[in-house]
């Protein structure tokens, strides 16, 4: 099924409220396109008078009870920015490791709030997801409280995934693709520019796509 048809099906099933089609500007960088997409969503919820903002990609997952806990902590502590650590999944949703990448979680929307701002009170956060608020009241959650589970390397086609990342360093992307393709469970995973990771075997707790059962 084509992507457009899948999105329309999601609307009809009540899984999403609406869909905005984005046509990238190929004359600018991938990162600028990514930032523009995130700001389209941000402007939409500001227009809807929402009080808080949470950006997510389609391959990102959170545990429901952890997210509910985080919302209470943020509300009770009056935090206007929050950050979590992330886990990456490798080849299949049952193989994962704690990543070095951090993720902006929930931000309060104020009149000074900006998405894709250069400064952010935590390191290793995607620049297109850095959110500015003032004054800064920031909460950094531990992985035991809440984390983001990223199916970034669970793909039927790794090459397609790497072509659509905001990173344009082709040498780096080629190394990542090679390491993914060569990795086998039981071995450590060498993540270029990040280091060596021990991969745990877990349940497919989000019941997400598994290439092992692709037909």
For tokens 């809807």, the residue is: 48
DSSP character at residue 129: G
pLDDT tens figures, 138-152: 999 999 999 999 999
pLDDT of amino acid 19: 87
pLDDT of amino acid 22: 87
Burial label for 105, CB within 10 Å (0-12, 13-18, 19+), is buried
pLDDT of amino acid 165: 64
The verdict on pTM exceeding 0.85 is: yes
Q: Where are the domains of the chain?
A: 52-213
Q: Which residues of the chain have pLDDT under 70?
A: 1-2, 158-168, 215
Q: How far is the C-alpha of 44 from the C-alpha of 3, rounded, in Å?
A: 22
Rounded to 5 degrees, what are φ and ψ at 77? -90, -5
DSSP character at residue 118: S
pLDDT of amino acid 167: 65
Q: The tokens of 143 are what? A: 């992985």
Query: Count of residues for the chain?
Result: 215
pLDDT of amino acid 140: 98
């Amino acid at each position: 099924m084509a992507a457009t048809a899948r999105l329309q099906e999601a609307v009809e099933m009540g899984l999403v409220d609406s869909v905005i089609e984005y046509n990238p500007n190929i004359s600018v960088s991938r990162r600028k396109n990514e930032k523009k997409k995130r700001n389209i969503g941000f402007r939409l919820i500001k227009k809807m008078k929402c009080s808080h903002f949470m950006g997510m990609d389609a391959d990102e997952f959170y545990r429901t009870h952890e997210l509910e806990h985080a919302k209470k902590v943020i509300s009770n502590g009056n935090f206007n920015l929050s950050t979590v650590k992330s886990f990456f999944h490798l080849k299949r949703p049952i193989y994962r490791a704690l990543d070095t990448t951090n993720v902006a979680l929930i931000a309060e929307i104020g009149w000074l709030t900006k998405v894709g701002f250069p400064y952010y009170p935590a390191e290793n956060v995607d620049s297109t997801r850095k959110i500015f608020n003032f004054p800064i009241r920031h909460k950094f959650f531990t992985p035991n409280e809440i984390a983001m589970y990223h199916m970034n390397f669970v793909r039927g086609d790794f090459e397609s995934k790497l072509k659509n990342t905001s990173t344009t360093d082709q040498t780096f992307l080629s190394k990542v693709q090679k390491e993914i393709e060569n990795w086998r469970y039981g071995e450590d995973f060498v993540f270029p520019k990040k280091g060596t990771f021990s991969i745990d075997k877990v349940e497919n707790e989000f019941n997400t796509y598994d290439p092992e059962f692709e037909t």
